[in-house]
Structure 1
Amino acid sequence: MKTYPESIAFLGQFGRFQQMVFFLLCISIVPNGFGAFTLVFLADTPSHHCRVPDVNLTEDWRSAIIPVRVVNGKPVRSSCSRYRLDVVRNLSDQGYSPDHDVNLTTLEEETCKDGWIYSKDVYQSTIVTEFDLVCNDKWKKPFTTTIFFVGILVGSFFAGQLSDKCGRKPVLFVTLALQTIFTFIQVFSVSWLMFTVLLVINGLGQMSNYMAALVLGAEILTGNVRLLYSSLGTCFGFAAGYMLLPLCAYFVRDWKTLLLVLSVPCLAFFPFWWFIPESPRWLLCQDRVEEAEAIVKKAAKINKVQAPGAIFEGYNVAKAKTDPKEPHSILDLVRNVDIAAMTVVLCYVAFTISAGYYGISFNTTQLHDNTYVSCFISGAVELPAYVSSWLALRYIPRRLSVIATLVLAAIPLYLMQLVPEGYFGLSLLLEMVGKYAITTGFGLMFAYTTELYPTALRNTAAGICNTVARLGSCIMPYLLELRSYSKFLPYIILGSLAVLAAFATIFLPESFGRPLPDTMRDMRKRERINCPCLPKAETPVAVLLMDNPKA
């Protein structure tokens, strides 16, 4: 029986059909780019101080009622306290001057009982100003980011398995609908709790549709076009959304309007349903050969080529002999020692890359006084990173590529603590090198993971790895909070994780230059993890011949 790429070779690699699938799927990924980092602007905290009610106070006392603190050598107004209003009002009524008659440091302070006044120099409003997520409630801000990534984690876990059971296409559009609809509904949030609940549901669709689109395109496309799509195509779609976010946020400074601007245009993606087909590979794995042939014949008509009468002739018979029909589940990822060990290593590497990627991304937004410029730079540096991942996928073995990017990411993170105080440009350069390297690894791992697992488990495996990766993004807000103890501590932790991940990658099997496995039998033939602690099995002669065409 011919392999899937051989069966559809008559279509060519990049005809009109493949171009349509390629570009529509890339466009469908754009919302993930701005959705993943929307909280950079939605949850930013502008400068603020206690509100002073409209009582009888002189202008001098109204200005002096907010204590002044020294932060990093600079005097700033307190954000969470004021001098006791009744005491200040009494002193003002008696004609005392705050500049000459009273030692302000002796006055008792109180919390902001009447709320806060927020600066509108940058934002008209954010969820922080809307729901007062400051002072005693400031813990809610990092928790909001974490709970969003928890939603992504849960969505990744279930979406991968649903995609393998129900199909790539339905999951792609259902998760896209979750993102669009619940981003829109968030506009009407009347409390932080309501906003957070809706954010979790929104997160169920975030990245889940990215994974569905990635796997769908990787299974439809073949050869170098598949590599181009899995690395440059999908990643450029994500980066486009990432860079679009600060441009939209710059012109829309109100959080509710920004959510509307980001959600409503996504309705234009739903007509794609009639142009993006289901994965023929997946249909074949479900024994739906006629449906798979119908899609390929329609593709042949679009490409204006003649399709053979029976494209997958004898597929059911050959499949029954080589891979008897059996239900597949998440347990297949751990039943075999080699596959289980490979899954554990891939999950750890994905965890490290996700923690590093989101940690550096959220931190780099603070590298410039202008948050919009910071966010745009952080997004723009991803473009050369994705080009590098594409070149690496095309010319360099997968293991070597991933190890190199992890080491390159760790080195600048360690060097950050050696930069002398005041060398801002050097610190920025090192952090951008780290962002470039970790982003390159991000692009590599998506493609690497899809190449190691068979069609029946591909989305489940990608979903599990993506789920574990989300754990890295969930801890990211609290990892960045460690800067209050030492500003270099997050860098040291992320660098150490990257070094360990590089070492673990050494034991992964290689997939460079090999066809995608369609069945568990195909996977078991070759996916042996290179760990000396695991028992070695004899390699069948047939496998040696398959892996060495010259033999």
Structure 2
Amino acid sequence: MNVQDYDEVPAFLGEWGPFQKSVFFLLSLTIIPNGYAGLVMVFLADTPQHSCRLPNSTDVTTGGTVNLSLRLPVEEVDGERVYSKCARFKTHVGDGLNGTTRETEPCADGWEYSTDRYTSTIVSEWNLVCDDNWKGPFTVSVFFMGMLCGSLISGLLSDRYGRKIILFVSMALQTVFSLILVSSQSWAMFSILFFIIGFVQISKYIVMFILGSELLGKTVRIAYGTLGVCLFFALGSVVLPIFAYFIRDWRMLLLALSLPQILYMPLWWFIPESPRWLLSQGRVEEAEVIVQAAAKRNGIKHTAVIFENRSDQECMLPTGDKHAHTYLDLVRTSNLRNITIIAMFVWIISSVGYFGLSFSIPNMHGDPYINCFISAATEIVSYVIAWILLRTSPRRISLACIVVFSGVLLLLIQIVPSDHHVLITIMTMISKFGYAAAFSMIFVFSAELYPTVVRNMGFGVCSMASRIGSIISPYFAYLETYNKVLPFILMGSLSVMAGIFCLVLPETFGQPLPQTIQQVQPMIWWTTKRNDIIAVAEKDKKVENEHLNSQIDAV
């Protein structure tokens, strides 16, 4: 069998045989640690109840217990009067001063932390409270900064050295540095290691996604990106609160979550390299061995040579637009530039909504372990719904409705009486449900918006925008310490705006994937007439042709 187009290979192997099932399941299995790698900070960086540590005193005790009203000033927080967490009275009651005139001072002797919920967290370990309370959310941002850097170079590394090797190197590094993280001796050391974990974690995710897309057939790829990758990611999120409930010490929790990752290493002998990548590197014999083994696994008796050295080297070359494309092509024409700007904005807001609400779980009413478990479990349902919508409904309409609905729910929280805690928690959970579905849908939608010649670059830019959203997301949860509804107002307003912008993106459902920039469908502006659309398309085509001619002249 001579295959001139590699896309014929999955058809030759069948769409859903034992080979495809094993690749689908094993690659999806590797994503489980990603589900809790960053969200573990919900428990690791939660702030226990605390107050200033008081020096031993015998003149202000009641029944052997220090009378806090004589030692700690009272502050008003969210309408309630509570003891200060960051100050204490400088003078004793015996100094002849009343409570209104006594001077206060910072917690010079450190803090006392409640152990009702946690044995220890990084907050209680390194006193990340009061003047240093910014370090908690910043630590989460550091993790996402690592993801941003990892997303920039992981594709280059996998293109250079191969999908499989980078996948397993990333998994090994994630395991090693997660174990080292357990022994962190300072907040700075923890942050540096957490940055590295974010770096290798996103590298593993991207390479795993690419490898699965190249090994599986066209009809299985959407299921792989939603039911496979997203469902197993949600499974990792479900596992997290279960472990955290039984393990209340942050070091032991990290250890328990990190050790099972060692079990992934034997998968090296069961997950193959991408034959498509091997062909692009001229390693035809290795690609032949993998496809022949896959055919045998699927019960296909075949002895003929599948790939021929000369023809398959030629078939891997692009057959359409021959000139080199760069990131500038994403903004060179007005249509693709507008698509890129709006897609980046939607990615940022979806990321802010998903992670912002995830890190707000400790601030919600009720048990944080139950809230986290329910939140993660509902994600599984959201990914199934996203998969159904991707198969049956227009992309832009479905995505816009979900994002707007999530935003409106958050905006409505401000009119709910503050004592209706259960209702507020339910509305927040439903909103996160919507953001999770939107996140999985926008992966597929963005890949369909861009033409083949710049699809990887366009998808990479959108993914980088998502990392920006995740970096700032912890501070939305942090705003709750100042105003309970402010994060909901900000996220809700931005989500409604993002949903409206989704409606002007081109529709891709049921449409063939564009191959060149000229084939990209125009934006759908409500005030735009048909003649204006044609004029814009012709203008963009002219710009692209001029760029192509300039490159030809240079050659």
TM-score w.r.t. structure 2 length? 0.86
- In structure 2, the gaps of 5 or more residues are 525-531, 542-555
Cα distance in 2 for partners of 1:219, 1:485 equals 48
Q: Deviations over 1:219-277 (max 9, x none)?
A: 22124322211111111111011011111011111111111111111111122222212
2:173 alignment counterpart: 178
Distance 1:354 1:505, change over 3 A: same
Matches within 5 A, 1:300-311: 300-307=295-302, 309-311=304-306
Do structure 1's residue 492 and structure 2's residue 524 form an aligned pair? no
- Note if contact 2:10-2:216 (Cα within 8 Å) is conserved in structure 1: no
1:265 alignment counterpart: 260
Cα distance in 1 for partners of 2:389, 2:145 equals 31
**In the comparison of the two structures, how many residue pairs are matched?**
525
Amino acid at match of 1:12: G
Cα distance in 2 for partners of 1:309, 1:453 equals 37
Amino acid at match of 2:207: A
Q: CA RMSD in A?
A: 3.0
Cα distance in 2 for partners of 1:118, 1:330 equals 51
1:88 alignment counterpart: 92
Partner-residue secondary structure (3-state), 1:535: helix
Matches within 5 A, 1:385-534: 385-452=382-449, 459-483=456-480, 486-513=483-510, 522-524=515-517, 526-530=519-523
Pick one of 19, 26, 34 that aligns with 1:24.
26
- Note if contact 2:4-2:315 (Cα within 8 Å) is conserved in structure 1: no
Matches within 5 A, 1:267-346: 267-307=262-302, 309-313=304-308, 314-320=311-317, 322-323=319-320, 330-331=327-328, 333-334=330-331, 338-346=335-343
1:78 alignment counterpart: 84
Cα distance in 2 for partners of 1:205, 1:498 equals 30
Distance 1:344 1:159, change over 3 A: farther
Deviation at 1:73, TM superposition (A): 4.6
Amino acid at match of 1:136: D
Amino acid at match of 2:66: R
- Note if contact 2:150-2:198 (Cα within 8 Å) is conserved in structure 1: yes
Cα distance in 1 for partners of 2:176, 2:327 equals 30
- Note if contact 1:50-1:116 (Cα within 8 Å) is conserved in structure 2: yes
Partner-residue secondary structure (3-state), 2:182: helix
1:130 alignment counterpart: 125
Deviates most, 35-44 or 137-146: 137-146
TM-score w.r.t. structure 1 length? 0.86
1:535 alignment counterpart: 536
Amino acid at match of 1:18: Q
Cα distance in 2 for partners of 1:28, 1:242 equals 14
- Note if contact 1:164-1:460 (Cα within 8 Å) is conserved in structure 2: no
Cα distance in 1 for partners of 2:197, 2:345 equals 26
Amino acid at match of 1:40: V
- In structure 1, the gaps of 5 or more residues are 92-100, 541-551
2:360 alignment counterpart: 363
Q: Deviations over 1:159-205 (max 9, x none)?
A: 23333443332332233233222221111211111111111111112
Deviation at 1:457, TM superposition (A): 6.0
Pick one of 353, 372, 381 that aligns with 1:384.
381
Distance 1:435 1:194, change over 3 A: same
- Note if contact 1:215-1:459 (Cα within 8 Å) is conserved in structure 2: no
Do structure 1's residue 213 and structure 2's residue 186 form an aligned pair? no
Q: Deviations over 1:464-497 (max 9, x none)?
A: 3221111111111223333455433322322232
Matches within 5 A, 1:56-67: 57-60=59-62, 62-63=66-67, 64-67=70-73
Cα distance in 2 for partners of 1:263, 1:371 equals 22
1:11 alignment counterpart: 13
Amino acid at match of 1:432: M
Cα distance in 2 for partners of 1:457, 1:283 equals 21
Identical residues among aligned pairs (%):
44
Cα distance in 2 for partners of 1:330, 1:307 equals 43
Partner-residue secondary structure (3-state), 1:4: coil
1:46 alignment counterpart: 48
Do structure 1's residue 143 and structure 2's residue 144 form an aligned pair? no
- Note if contact 2:450-2:458 (Cα within 8 Å) is conserved in structure 1: yes
Partner-residue secondary structure (3-state), 1:536: helix
Amino acid at match of 2:521: R
Pick one of 331, 345, 348 that aligns with 1:348.
345
Partner-residue secondary structure (3-state), 1:216: helix
Q: Deviations over 1:279-331 (max 9, x none)?
A: 23333444544433332212112112134624345333345582587766545
Cα distance in 1 for partners of 2:360, 2:472 equals 14
Cα distance in 2 for partners of 1:269, 1:12 equals 27
Cα distance in 2 for partners of 1:483, 1:433 equals 19
Cα distance in 2 for partners of 1:362, 1:222 equals 37
- Note if contact 1:50-1:80 (Cα within 8 Å) is conserved in structure 2: yes
Amino acid at match of 2:7: P
Deviation at 1:425, TM superposition (A): 3.3
Cα distance in 2 for partners of 1:288, 1:278 equals 11
Cα distance in 1 for partners of 2:93, 2:416 equals 50
Cα distance in 2 for partners of 1:240, 1:117 equals 36
Cα distance in 2 for partners of 1:445, 1:321 equals 26
Cα distance in 1 for partners of 2:325, 2:290 equals 24
